[in-house]
Amino acid sequence: MASTSVPVITLPRPALMRQWLAQYRVPAVGVAIATGGKVAFKVYGELSKGIPAPQNTVWGSKALTDATAILNNTGDGEPDNLPQTDFFTGLNMPDTSFGDPVKVLNRMARPHNNREGIYVFKPYDTDSHLFTTLSDLCKLLIHIGKKVNDIAMAGTTAEEYGWRALYSTPGGYQGITHSAVGNGASHSLLLFPRTKQAVVILTNSDNGGQLTDTVISQCWPSLLHFAPLVH
């Protein structure tokens, strides 16, 4: 079936993001857009009261680890068994690791519940968590986009790895998406291999799904043709 172009989108305006962060009681959100191998990203909000979240904020969750299971289909192997010094270094991902956030705690977006309370952070509970930055995560998505057989990833194949196929009418299959909310974090990943585009939204709150819905519907309504909303 013929391919339908994915619309060009831009980063949300800071004033809008400040409004939505306050409305949904989300401490911080990171948004990234990759187009043709080039990445634009921005982190909005605070790590804690009065401390702005830096652009190299570290995000982490078990659900992000689940999303990397798709690496099995690219020939890279089980993500949490990959030699990190080889795989992540090879992709120039210096801020990415499984279960070892101690060295980056000063710039970590700690998980929050829906009342803005901080979840108790226990490093020994994070062995299965992926910790990464917006920049690093986009590099990983670009790598995946170059290697996946996008036809094979449609339908049930994508679902085997926790991703969902994205379709448009007309045009048929366009890409894949992975999203999750809970345990003080949320993410929404959209990957369009054919057009070499990707979108990432990360938050550190159980309310993050509502914020993500609003960003997509208000800033990028054209994506609603492709992306099932998180919430």
Domain that holds residue 49: 14-30+40-225
Contact (CB, 8 A) for 97 and 84: yes
Composition of the chain by helix, strand, coil, percent to 5: 35, 30, 40
What confidence score (pLDDT) does residue 146 get? 80
In which band, very low, low, confident or very high, does the pLDDT at 1 lie, cut at 50, 70 and 90? very low
Q: Extract the tokens encoding 141.
A: 């998505």
pLDDT of residue 198: 92
- Please check whether residue 231 lies inside any domain of the structure: no
Token couple for 85 = 């010094």
Q: Is residue 9, in this structure, part of any structural domain at all?
A: no
Per-residue pLDDT at 99: 76
Strands 59-61 and 197-203: unpaired
Alpha-carbon gap, residue 66 to 79, rounded angstroms: 9
More confident residue, 173 or 136: 136
Q: What is the dihedral of CA 118, 124, 127, 130, to 10 degrees?
A: 30
pLDDT at residue 57 in the model: 97
Residue 45 belongs to some domain of the structure? yes
What pLDDT is stored for residue 2 in this prediction?
42
Q: pLDDT tens-digit profile of 38-62?
A: 999 999 999 999 999 999 999 988 8
Pairwise CA distance, residues 12 & 133, whole Å: 18
- Distance separating alpha carbons of residues 61 and 101, to the nearest angstrom: 11
Is 6 within the bounds of a domain? no
pLDDT at 193: 84
Choose between 11 and 228: higher pLDDT.
11
Domain-embedded: residue 136: yes
What's the rounded Cα separation, in Å, for the pair 70 and 168? 22
Is 58 contained in some domain?
yes
pLDDT for 204? 96
Q: Is residue 26 part of a domain?
A: yes
Nearest to 108 by CA among 54, 153, 65, 155: 54
Rounded Cα distance between 170 and 167, Å, is 9
Q: Work out how many domains the chain is built from and give that number.
A: 1
Q: For the residues 123-131, what does the mean pLDDT come to?
A: 71
Asked whether residue 1 is assigned to any structural domain, the reply reads no
Whether the pLDDT of residue 31 is over 50: the answer is yes
Q: Mean pLDDT across the chain, nearest whole number?
A: 83
User: In whole angstroms, what is the distance from residue 46 CA to residue 28 CA?
Assistant: 5
Closest to 121 in 3D by CA, of 183, 33, 41, 55: 183
| CATH number of the domain bearing residue 145 | 3.40.710.10
* Digit-coded pLDDT (tens) for 145-168: 887 755 555 555 667 778 887 877
pLDDT in tens, 81-108: 655 557 888 889 988 888 766 677 889 9
Q: What is the pLDDT of residues 178-217, one digit of tens each?
A: 999 998 999 999 988 888 889 999 999 999 999 999 999 9
| Helix residue spans in the chain (DSSP H) | 14-24, 62-67, 71-74, 84-90, 134-147, 156-160, 208-219
